[in-house]
Amino acid sequence: MSDSRLLCAVLLNQLLTLGQVIAGTVSGSVALLSDAAHNFNDANSLLIAYVARRISKKDANERYTFGYRRAEMIGATINLTLLAMIGLFLVYEGIKRLFLPQEIVGWLMAVTAIVAFVVDVGTAQLLWAMSRGSLNVRAAFIHNIVDAAGSVVVLLGAIAILWLDWMRVDPVITLLIASYVLWQVCKMLPPATRILMEGAPPTLNLQALIESVQQVSGVVGLHHLHVWELDERHRAMEAHVVIADERAAELESIKDRIKVCLADRYDIGHSTLEFDLINSSQATCDTCVE
């Protein structure tokens, strides 16, 4: 059902783009044509989000043993990169139109903005429930929120043109929207990049994790410790665990206690542990991350 909502959002935005192109061509409004280009880009971003979600659900195989779950992260990175380009384009257009305001047919601009706002709000409602569990869909959701705000801006601009004959209201509000777009990119792009770079979860206290594992009875130390995120919902860890050689018979029991600790305290459901034995008379092993 959720994927069908995403596909429906793609179709709605493509139809909206077509309508804006027709309205912009008939009225001679460059503003509407620019908004159509913006919306066309957003429709494509929704299509990327849809394809990425479909790919991410494929099962693991011999070539991709972890599966395709990071396809959504790739989709999110693409969407956010496009969103950054849109934000910079809006800054450019806003500054340019402050100095070179363009003539726009106000009534057609207003009608098109109202239709666009309805479509954007409808699309955002389709994506809202899905956006809470996926950075990829959240990026697409932000696209549509920005579109809805952009439609309001166009409508306000049309009202200002019709009543006040003030052409500069549109670029002023456009610059405000562009600032919001770029702020969202700065907020959402680092998490996607971190996951693709196999970075540790930002909320994870690695030192606390090390101390928790070392408190497990029989554990002397850790080394070759790596913690990363497979996607937004799955964490993984691998490490060498050092135990005293006289505790070798308890290895499986120690391993089970470590895995329970990792799952319960740090939400790490996938852990690969290799055990090294050390004579109890030797120096304790230093914990290290490599």
User: Averaged over 126-132, what is the pLDDT?
Assistant: 66
* 118 token code pair: 């309805």
Picking from 196, 221, 247, the residue at the C-terminal end of a domain is 196
Closest CA to 225 of 241, 211, 203: 241
Torsion of CA 38, 43, 47, 50, to 10 degrees: 110
Q: What is the pLDDT of residue 29?
A: 62
Query: Cα separation of 272 and 279, whole Å?
Result: 23
CB 19 within 8 A of CB 115: yes
Q: What is the pLDDT of residue 283?
A: 47
Q: Each residue of 231-286: pLDDT tens digit?
A: 777 899 999 999 988 888 899 999 999 999 999 999 998 899 999 988 755 545 55
Q: Each residue of 80-117: pLDDT tens digit?
A: 888 788 778 878 877 887 787 767 667 787 888 888 88
Sign of CA dihedral 126, 132, 137, 141: positive
Same domain, 216 and 76: no
Strand partners of residue 270: 236
First-to-last alpha carbon distance for the chain, in angstroms, is 43
Q: What is the pTM of this model?
A: 0.67
User: In terms of residue numbers, what domain contains 75?
Assistant: 2-196
Helix axes 71-99, 169-196, angle to 10 degrees: 160
Same domain, 7 and 121: yes
Phi, psi of 66 (to 5 degrees): -90, 0
Same domain, 37 and 13: yes
More confident residue, 106 or 64: 64
- The domain total for the chain is 2
Amino acid at 114: I
> Does the pLDDT of residue 215 top 60, yes or no?
yes
**Regarding beta strands 270-278 and 219-229, do their DSSP bridges make them parallel or antiparallel, or are they unpaired?**
unpaired
Return the residue matching tokens 């050390």: 278
Same domain, 132 and 271: no
CATH number at residue 130: 1.20.1510.10
Query: Cα separation of 30 and 26, whole Å?
Result: 11
* 229 token code pair: 């995120």
Same domain, 57 and 176: yes
Query: Cα separation of 100 and 81, whole Å?
Result: 28
